[in-house]
């Protein structure tokens, strides 16, 4: 329990000091009224401190955010509810909500008296310029006597989380990596050939599963042909994000890793909306064994909201996961940094026959990493391996980089 002295405000200490002087002066000069007034000045702060220290109020705090998931730069409205679960009316008190620093200034407010069993609500808004899972609370309260002579600080436990999703930029559909992708619901032009089991087939397109190649029809037509199911199979796309600290530069919202997360979110959502079965390969999905799962847009954004840089030693697991997914064809979109020729060669080898590789190579120098490698040699290496690759800098817009990448004529599938 705090001492009475620690509960006194500046005003309370001034009262005690002034009262003490008046008591001494009254005793010294024989002025009884002055002595009585001095005693009153000393007693008031001490009585206030005793009342503040002994008066306990129990409250239940609840937080409701709307919406519960927001994008970078979007407002979230928080309703803070105070329920008085004690048997007495609460005093007027000051409250301060503790927030993660990225959510802005801590909201402060005065809460009026709350009768026993009643609830009072207060609303405030928060906004974040950084993605992530951010904390709301706990709540700091300050109970003060009516004269401002003493106060007591307390913390009401309980927190809530606010998920801030990465920004998603709309990407152009004018230059799709592959047209007529045969995603679910699309009507592809079919070529029906009569043969074993009367299989319906069509021409091979980038991203088709190589296991569905129909070799007799291929021999007859001279072109690769694949089995066409009654319900066309959904095309696969793999989005890989490089989490190595050595591959990135800059800090905060302007770092190359944040650019990579925004790009990964934008590309993955664009491919989902285009009918692809999207797999996200990053440190978080590899650690939780979710890289092999087809993810929905909401699941992708939830994972990328908390994506972070990881130790360089985890690159092997990420590359193995991407290689396994790309082995049967489809699209592989890699967002990587220029760190090590050997690793670039390993990334380049992920693109196999039937796989279309697209790479956004981050120019870490432009993001403030002065000792980073030049991105261009890595771009050239990927292009020589059959990838479509472009270098991107700090001022590059994700939508523009994607348009340049998908319009490129270098590389392709083989």
CATH number at residue 377: 3.40.50
* Residue 248 shares a structural domain with residue 387: yes
Q: Is residue 155 part of a domain?
A: yes
Residue-by-residue DSSP string for 253-304: GGSHHHHHHHHHHHHHHHHHHTT-EEEEESHHHHHTT-TTS---HHHHHHHH
Give the CA count within 13 Å in the CB-facing half-sphere of 200: 8
Q: Is residue 178 part of a domain?
A: no
Q: Which of 117, 147, 165 is the last residue of a domain?
A: 165
Is omega for the bond preceding 374 within 30 degrees of 0, making it cis?
no
Tens digits of residue pLDDT in 141-193: 999 888 899 999 999 989 999 999 999 999 986 555 553 333 333 333 332 33
Per-residue pLDDT of the chain (414 residues; tens, 9 = 90+): 678 788 999 999 999 999 999 999 999 999 999 999 999 999 999 999 998 888 777 899 999 999 999 999 999 999 999 999 988 899 889 999 999 999 999 999 999 999 999 999 999 999 999 999 999 999 999 998 888 999 999 999 899 999 999 999 999 865 555 533 333 333 333 323 333 343 477 888 766 777 788 888 888 888 888 876 544 456 899 999 999 998 999 999 999 999 999 999 999 999 999 999 999 999 999 999 999 999 999 999 999 999 999 987 778 999 999 999 998 888 999 999 987 788 889 999 999 888 899 999 999 999 987 777 899 999 999 999 999 999 999 999 999 999 999 986 433 443
Q: What SS3 state is found at 331?
A: strand
Q: Is residue 177 part of a domain?
A: no
* Residue 152 shares a structural domain with residue 300: no
* Residue 240 shares a structural domain with residue 355: yes
CATH number of the domain within which 82 lies? 2.60.40.10
pTM check: above 0.75: yes
Q: Is residue 135 part of a domain?
A: yes
* Residue 402 shares a structural domain with residue 273: yes
Measured N-to-C along each axis, helices 341-348 and 315-326 cross at an angle, to the nearest 10 degrees, of 20
* Residue 257 shares a structural domain with residue 110: no
Domain count, the chain: 4
Q: Is residue 173 part of a domain?
A: no
Q: Which of 54, 75, 94 is the last residue of a domain?
A: 54
* Residue 14 shares a structural domain with residue 49: yes
CA 275 remoteness from chain centre: 25
Q: Which of 13, 32, 54 is the last residue of a domain?
A: 54
Measured N-to-C along each axis, helices 341-348 and 376-384 cross at an angle, to the nearest 10 degrees, of 30
* Residue 366 shares a structural domain with residue 324: yes
For residue 204, the enclosing domain spans: 191-227
Q: Is residue 255 part of a domain?
A: yes
* Residue 311 shares a structural domain with residue 384: yes
Q: Is 404 left (phi over 0), alpha (psi -120 to 50) or beta?
A: alpha
* Residue 125 shares a structural domain with residue 242: no
Residue count of the chain, please give it: 414
* Residue 43 shares a structural domain with residue 130: no
User: What phi and psi, each to the nearest 5 degrees, are found at residue 121?
Assistant: -120, 145
CB-based burial label for 400 (10 Å; 0-12, 13-18, 19+):
middle
In sequence order, which residues have a C-beta less than 8 Å from that of residue 311 and are 6 or more positions away?
244, 245
Q: Is residue 16 part of a domain?
A: yes
Tens digits of residue pLDDT in 230-279: 444 568 999 999 999 989 999 999 999 999 999 999 999 999 999 999 99
Q: Is residue 365 part of a domain?
A: yes
Q: Say if residues 65 and 136 touch (Cβ distance below 8 Å).
A: yes
Q: What SS3 state is found at 390?
A: strand
* Residue 368 shares a structural domain with residue 252: yes
* Residue 268 shares a structural domain with residue 380: yes
């Amino acid at each position: 329990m705090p001492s009475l002295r620690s509960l006194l405000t500046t005003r309370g200490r001034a009262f005690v000091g002034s009262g003490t002087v008046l008591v001494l002066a009254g005793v010294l000069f024989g002025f009884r009224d002055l002595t009585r007034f001095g005693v009153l000045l000393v007693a008031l702060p001490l009585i206030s401190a005793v009342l503040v220290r002994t008066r306990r109020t129990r409250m239940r705090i609840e937080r409701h955010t709307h919406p519960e998931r927001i994008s970078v730069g979007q407002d979230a409205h928080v309703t803070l509810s105070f329920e008085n679960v004690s048997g007495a009316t609460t005093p007027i008190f000051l409250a301060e909500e503790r927030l993660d620093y990225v959510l802005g200034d801590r909201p402060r407010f005065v809460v009026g008296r709350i009768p026993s069993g009643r609830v009072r609500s207060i609303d405030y808004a928060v906004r974040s310029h950084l993605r992530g899972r951010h904390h709301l609370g706990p709540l700091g309260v300050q109970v003060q006597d009516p004269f401002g002579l003493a106060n007591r600080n307390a913390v009401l436990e309980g927190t809530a989380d606010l998920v801030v999703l990465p920004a998603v930029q709309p990407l152009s559909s004018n230059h799709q990596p592959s047209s007529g992708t045969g995603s679910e619901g699309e009507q592809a032009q079919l070529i029906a050939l009569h043969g074993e089991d009367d299989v319906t087939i069509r021409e091979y397109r980038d991203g088709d599963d190589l296991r569905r190649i129909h070799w007799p029809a291929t021999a007859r037509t001279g072109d690769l042909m694949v089995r066409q199911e009654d319900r066309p199979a959904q095309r696969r796309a793999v989005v890989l994000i490089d989490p190595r600290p050595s591959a990135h530069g800059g800090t905060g919202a302007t770092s190359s890793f944040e650019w990579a997360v925004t790009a990964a979110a934008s590309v993955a959502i664009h491919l989902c909306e285009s009918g692809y079965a999207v797999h996200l390969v990053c440190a978080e999905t590899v650690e939780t064994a979710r890289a092999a799962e087809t993810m929905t847009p909401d699941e992708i954004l939830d994972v990328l909201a908390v994506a972070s840089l990881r130790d360089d030693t985890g690159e092997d697991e990420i590359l193995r996961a991407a290689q396994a997914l790309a082995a049967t064809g489809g699209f592989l979109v890699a967002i990587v940094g220029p760190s090590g020729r050997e690793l670039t060669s390993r990334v380049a080898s992920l693109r196999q026959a039937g796989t279309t590789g697209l790479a956004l190579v981050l120019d870490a120098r432009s993001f403030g990493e002065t000792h980073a490698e030049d991105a261009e040699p890595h771009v050239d290496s990927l292009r020589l391996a059959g990838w479509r690759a472009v270098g991107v800098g700090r001022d590059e817009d994700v939508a523009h980089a994607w348009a340049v990448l998908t319009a490129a004529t270098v590389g392709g599938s083989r």
